[in-house]
């Protein structure tokens, strides 16, 4: 399971011209599920993301987590994170989880984040989405488990 997390001042996801998820300060998370992933990876990622001290404190140091600042998450499914671009010019998605399994684990991840007490907004699984965000910093991390 892979996650690209971006510290944002705001983010939204639009489907067919309608905003389906929107947050203010917090984290924009692109989540990719791969074959062999299970709940244990999702649980690890949620715990890691909730505790990452990547928001600035009063001294300007990255000392605060998304929980500490009362931030929110916008979680968007992103199967292309499983893409392999090492050979040829067209990415291979052989390592991506099948859609049913990807959706199940994506929804599990979202539920786990909500159980952690964070406000969570989402996109729509397998929809054609347009994502807008203001990356604060910019601060971006890639997590894999």
Single out the catalytic residue among 80, 126, 130, 140.
80
Single out the catalytic residue among 6, 41, 55, 79.
79
- Which residues lie across from 79 on neighbouring strands? none
Look up 25 and say whether it is catalytic: no
- Polymer length of the chain: 145
Look up 6 and say whether it is catalytic: no
**Is residue 119 a contact partner of residue 73, using CB atoms and an 8 Å limit?**
yes
Single out the catalytic residue among 6, 41, 55, 78.
78
Residue 75 Cα to chain centre, angstroms: 4
Q: How far apart are CA 1 and CA 38, in angstroms?
A: 8
**Is residue 79 a contact partner of residue 32, using CB atoms and an 8 Å limit?**
yes
Distances 33 to 10, 27, 48, 106 between C-alpha atoms, Å: 25, 18, 17, 7
Look up 79 and say whether it is catalytic: yes
**Is residue 8 a contact partner of residue 66, using CB atoms and an 8 Å limit?**
no
The residues carrying an active-site annotation are 78-80
């Amino acid at each position: 399971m892979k996650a690209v997390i971006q510290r944002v001042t705001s983010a939204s996801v639009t489907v067919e011209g309608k905003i389906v998820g929107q947050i203010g300060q917090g984290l924009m998370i692109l989540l990719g599920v791969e074959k062999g992933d299970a709940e244990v990876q999702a649980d690890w990622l949620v715990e890691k993301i909730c505790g990452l001290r990547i928001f600035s404190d009063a001294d300007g140091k990255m000392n605060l987590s998304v929980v500490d600042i009362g931030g929110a998450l916008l979680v968007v499914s992103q199967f292309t994170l499983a893409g392999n671009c090492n050979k040829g010019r067209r990415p291979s998605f052989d390592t991506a989880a099948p859609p049913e399994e990807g959706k199940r684990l994506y929804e599990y991840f979202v539920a786990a984040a909500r159980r952690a007490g964070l406000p969570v907004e989402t996109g729509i699984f397998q929809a054609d989405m347009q994502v807008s965000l203001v990356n604060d910093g910019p601060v971006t991390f890639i997590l894999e488990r």
